[in-house]
Homo-oligomer: A and B are copies of this chain.
């Protein structure tokens, strides 16, 4: 227990201690923090006060988590121990130092959260068999739903890092080339995206990297992951359909991706390890894990229309369903010698599971089955895809006995295309 009050429903009990980057409202100075209850704890102030030893103390002086991410597991665990001690009810160091407490312990409402790291490269995977099967069925029919390589390797593509924004940042509906019916059949035209979707994903931040020309073994790959965030991979389906062959998604995805501000560490997630789906056919040896596991993380997506009183949950899924695991993602990414760097972000791809009530589908493309089955919202309206003014809210948490280790929220409102981009 912490001396900082914390409800059982809070995402940020002493068992969590996620990392983020904040600034005080109105200030420019970006600082590393952790979350406890409804507070953030300023780790630069604690570092200034001598609460950490090197190299952690120096890493907590920075305005991004990259240096801390680069330190590796031993130092991450050491910092976690120190923080657990500092915040515990029994420890006087912070509890009884009202000066330090007033400097370092701030209401979450008084701070602005930023991207936790400088993201060098962003990769998006396609790890959910249910998602890949659903998309493939809509595109190619049930008999050829999975591409021939899908069960042999974790399919991925390189994404755009410049347009990754933190939760709360609104995004503008993109425009792009789409095929439209014209007098001579289908013609490419420039139009505002008409089929705007979210994708419920998680993102793994790379901790320790690897050098160019080297690989990370699948059985040590877990140690290279610093922690996880919620990720909404906004997707313009009409643009995607026209541009995607032969080199993959480009403008359909590169205009915005949103992540939650809190990086929940693998140490905090360890109690929620669970079996991962078994794989058949067996993966190639470089993807075979001696201790194959996943994490039991409840995930949900809600849509809140502009002006509506309450959001409507459209997805209830779980990370544990993913066919390919996080270590397999790292092992495959590096198998040819590609270097990962601290702060790189690896998206899981849309996290879907198949349930009779269609609650487990992680994007509207699947949920509305290619725009044929409308979703009813609490305000009485229906959606096939996102409308201007809609806010998408992703949430995730692990349920422990009497406490939750949570990710908070990843939200983003869809604003109209800017008028400077009229078509």
**Inter-chain contact B248/A157, CB cutoff 8 Å:** yes
**Contacting residues, chain B, for A212 (C-beta < 8 A):** 162-163, 165, 171-172, 255-256
**Inter-chain contact B160/A251, CB cutoff 8 Å:** no
**Identical chains in the assembly:** 2
**Inter-chain contact A215/B421, CB cutoff 8 Å:** yes
Tell me if A103 counts as interface (CB < 8 A to partner B): no
**Interface positions of A from 402 to 418, Cβ below 8 Å from B:** 415, 417-418
**Inter-chain contact B120/A161, CB cutoff 8 Å:** yes
Tell me if A159 counts as interface (CB < 8 A to partner B): yes
Indicate which residue in B159, B176, B344 contacts A336 across the interface (CB closer than 8 Å): B176
**Contacting residues, chain B, for A248 (C-beta < 8 A):** 157, 246-249
How many residues of A are in contact with the other chain, CB < 8 A?
Answer: 66
Of A19-27, A38-46, A56-64, A237-245, the segment with at least 4 beta carbons within 8 Å of chain B is: A237-245
State in angstroms the CA–CA spacing of A339 and B162 once bound together.
Answer: 6
Knowing A243-B153, A246-B244, the reply to whether A336 touches B251 (Cβ < 8 A) is yes
Knowing A177-B153, A190-B284, the reply to whether A251 touches B333 (Cβ < 8 A) is yes
Knowing A163-B212, A338-B162, the reply to whether A246 touches B147 (Cβ < 8 A) is yes
State in angstroms the CA–CA spacing of A248 and B286 once bound together.
Answer: 22
**Inter-chain contact B337/A421, CB cutoff 8 Å:** yes
**Inter-chain contact A121/B176, CB cutoff 8 Å:** no
Tell me if A236 counts as interface (CB < 8 A to partner B): yes
**Inter-chain contact B190/A285, CB cutoff 8 Å:** yes
Knowing A215-B421, A245-B147, the reply to whether A251 touches B157 (Cβ < 8 A) is no
**Contacting residues, chain B, for A242 (C-beta < 8 A):** 149
Tell me if A279 counts as interface (CB < 8 A to partner B): no
**Contacting residues, chain B, for A256 (C-beta < 8 A):** 212, 337
**Inter-chain contact B247/A175, CB cutoff 8 Å:** no
**Interface positions of A from 133 to 168, Cβ below 8 Å from B:** 147-149, 152-153, 155-163, 165
**Inter-chain contact A213/B418, CB cutoff 8 Å:** yes
**Inter-chain contact A190/B286, CB cutoff 8 Å:** yes
Tell me if A395 counts as interface (CB < 8 A to partner B): no
**Contacting residues, chain B, for A332 (C-beta < 8 A):** 251
Indicate which residue in B176, B236, B338 contacts A163 across the interface (CB closer than 8 Å): B338
State in angstroms the CA–CA spacing of A188 and B151 once bound together.
Answer: 10
Cβ contacts A to B, 17 pairs, < 8 Å: A120-B120, A120-B162, A152-B188, A157-B157, A158-B254, A160-B338, A172-B212, A174-B336, A176-B336, A190-B286, A213-B415, A214-B418, A214-B421, A245-B246, A247-B249, A251-B335, A254-B338
Contacts A120-B162, A176-B336, A190-B335 aside, 7 further interface pairs with beta carbons under 8 A come to A152-B177, A162-B340, A174-B337, A213-B421, A239-B336, A248-B248, A256-B337
